[in-house]
Chain A
Amino acid sequence: MTAALSMYLRQALARLTKAAEAVRLGGAGEGDPALSRLRLLEDLIKEQMPHEDAGSSTRAPR
Chain B
Amino acid sequence: MKTLVLQLARLGDIYQTWPVMRALRRAGGGELHLLARAKFAGAVDGLEAIDRLWTLDARAALAPLVGDALDIEASLAVLDDLVARLRAEGFERVINLSYSPFSSRLTAAVAGSGAGEVRGYTRHADGYLQLADDASAYFYAQVGPGRANRVHLTELFAQTAGVELVEADWAGPATRPEGGAVAAKLFSLLNGARAPIVVHLGASRPGKTFGSHKWLQVVSGLLERTDAPVALIGAAGERALADAVKSSAAGREAVDLVGSTTLRDVFALLAKARLAIGGDSAPVHIAALTGTPCLNLSFREVSFWETGPKSAGSRILAFEAADDLASDVVVREALAMLAGEEGDPRAIRVAGPIEPYAAGGPFAASAGWEWLQAIYMGRPFPVPESELCVQGLLRLQEANELALEQLAVLGRRGLADRTALAILDRFDEIIGAIAGMAPTIGILVRWFQTERIRLGPMPGEELLAKTVSLHAKLRDVLGLYVAGPAREETHDDVRMG
Task: Show the binding face of B for A, using Cβ within 8 Å.
Answer: 8-10, 13, 37, 58, 61-62, 65-67, 70, 72, 75-76, 79-80, 83, 98-103, 105-106, 108-109, 123-128, 139-140, 143-145, 204-205, 301-302
Contact = CB atoms under 8 A, between A and B. Distances in A.
Contact of B70 (A15, A36, A40, A46): A15
Contacts of A11: 65, 70
A34 B62 CA distance: 19
Given A30-B127, A56-B204, 12 more contacts: A8-B66, A11-B65, A12-B65, A30-B126, A31-B126, A36-B108, A36-B123, A44-B102, A47-B101, A58-B9, A58-B10, A58-B103
A1 B302 CA distance: 22
A30 to B, nearest CB: 3
Interface residues of A, number: 33
A52 B281 CA distance: 20
A4 to B, nearest CB: 8
B66 A40 contact: no
A10 B99 CA distance: 23
B70 A55 contact: no
A39 B123 CA distance: 11
A44 B127 contact: no
A60 B62 contact: no
A46 B104 CA distance: 14
A39 B99 CA distance: 16
A27 interface: no
A21 interface: no
Contacts of A5: 66
A61 interface: yes
Given A44-B62, A59-B98, A8 B70 contact: yes
B145 A55 contact: yes
A16 B79 CA distance: 15
Interface string A41-55: 101111110000011
Given A31-B127, A48-B58, A59-B99, A39 B105 contact: yes
A58 B100 contact: yes
Contact of A31 (B9, B65, B79, B123): B123
A62 B124 CA distance: 15
B62 A61 contact: no
Most chain A Cβ neighbours within 10 Å, of B37, B101, B140: B101
Contact of A61 (B72, B106, B144): B144
Contacts of A46: 101-102
Nearest to B307: A55
Contact of B8 (A8, A38, A58): A58
Contact of A41 (B67, B70, B76, B144): B76
Nearest to A40: B105
Nearest to B83: A40
B149 to A, nearest CB: 11
Contacts of B72: 12, 15-16, 19, 41
Contacts of B80: 37
Contacts of B8: 58
Nearest to B128: A30
B62 A48 contact: yes
A41 B140 CA distance: 22
Nearest to B97: A59
A9 B108 CA distance: 24
Given A35-B127, A56-B10, A12 B70 contact: yes
